[in-house]
Amino acid sequence: MNTTVMIDKINELKERIVSLSASSLEEVEALRIKYLSKKGEVSALFNDFKSVAPEEKRTVGQALNELKNMATERIAALREALETSDSAADDLDLTRTAAPLPLGTRHPLSLVRDEIVDIFSRLGFTIAEGPEIEDDWHVFSSLNFAADHPARDMQDTFFINRTPDVLLRTHTSSVQSRVMERTQPPIRIICPGRVYRNEAISARAHCFFHQVEALYVDKNVSFADLRQTLLYFAREMFGPETKIRLRPSYFPFTEPSAEMDISCNLCGGKGCSFCKHTGWVEILGCGMVDPNVLRACGIDPDVYSGFALGMGIERITNLKYQVKDLRMFSENDVRFLEEFTAAH
């Protein structure tokens, strides 16, 4: 075949291939057969190549290879575009509302719990967790509760199937006793979790709530260490101007024991209805770990000492966000949760 005729046919096919289009994968396959199959138009030109003069074969051969590569790439591109669009169509949920969906928010108790954990983590405390269904030893006996202590009464504690030794934990101190049993000091842990008490549900009380407790046991731990830890926490949580006050108290597992108040963050300690015009608000209990507790958990109280503290997360959340009704935390009212979007 005349070389000029061959080149003209190749250029004509190139123009057609550049403008190829398809609306379905079936049409793409038809184009492949038309141009690239054994009986296709490109293959037909390769058959005519045999009659090209030897001195022209190089030029014509290069043009034929370019044509074949162009056709292959163009048809592959058409196929890929259609497969991608089909995949996108498969992912399209036609039942979804056209209106924008609002993003969810984190629960206020989760926000405050994470903030408390973050503050104590800066002091070297690590998170420890334990079971919510516990035994008497870890909840009461190992923590120096007397056999006739009122907390063991059915009115305060949820027992499982009337079994006196299996119960829902009434505080996260049970996690502390478990850690002390299996770990030798130094121990520096924080224990967040849900606890249960048999109380009437009201705006000020609930049958379940959340606590965070901290424990530090090592050589030469003093009450001064406890006070500085409490002061650091209060100022990080409520602001650098916050003051603290420790009042003597009693807990079976600490001696001496104290309750901690902070200066009211609403009135700045001047007195308001929230702090009952005292200028102070109670937020937690604390004290030095009783030697009997250390001994019961296998730690020598003559070598080691420690402090413990615990607070209700709901209590801290109330102070930060002035939530009047504890029931709001567990009712999952979307309107209530949306109020904390800006707190993230």
pLDDT tens sequence across 191-249 = 999 999 888 887 777 888 899 999 999 999 999 999 999 999 999 998 898 999 999 99
Whole-number pLDDT of residue 90: 61
Task: Read off φ and ψ for residue 342, nearest 5 degrees.
Answer: -75, -10
Pair of tokens at residue 190: 């924080």
Residue 157: φ, ψ to 5°: -120, 140
Q: Which of 309, 255, 256, 306 is nearest to 282 (CA)?
A: 309
Kindly report the number of other CB atoms within 10 A of residue 97's CB atom. 7
| pLDDT at 303 exceeding the cut of 90 | yes
What pLDDT does 86 receive? Answer: 57
pLDDT reported for residue 45: 79
Residue 123's contacts (CB-CB under 8 Å, 6 or more residues apart) are 188, 229, 232
The residue to which tokens 């096919």 are assigned: 13
pLDDT at position 189 = 95
pLDDT for the residue numbered 261: 92
* 63 — pLDDT class (breaks 50, 70, 90): confident
Provide mean pLDDT across the span 284-294: 95
Closest of 261, 274, 258 to residue 322, by C-alpha: 274
Considering the segment(s) 108-343 as one domain, its CATH architecture is 2-Layer Sandwich (3.30)
Tally of CB atoms within 10 A around 157? 20
Q: Which residues contact 3 (CB under 8 A, 6 or more apart)?
A: 52, 53, 56, 59, 60
**DSSP states of 285-311:** EEEEEPHHHHHHTT--TTT-EEEEEEE
Comparison of pLDDT for 152 and 192, the residue scoring more: 192
More confident residue, 297 or 161: 297
Amino acid at the residue 310: G
Secondary structure of 108-146 in HEC code, one letter for each residue: HHHHHHHHHHHHHHCCCCEECCCCCEEEHHHHCHHHCCC
**Is pTM, for the whole model, over 0.85?**
no
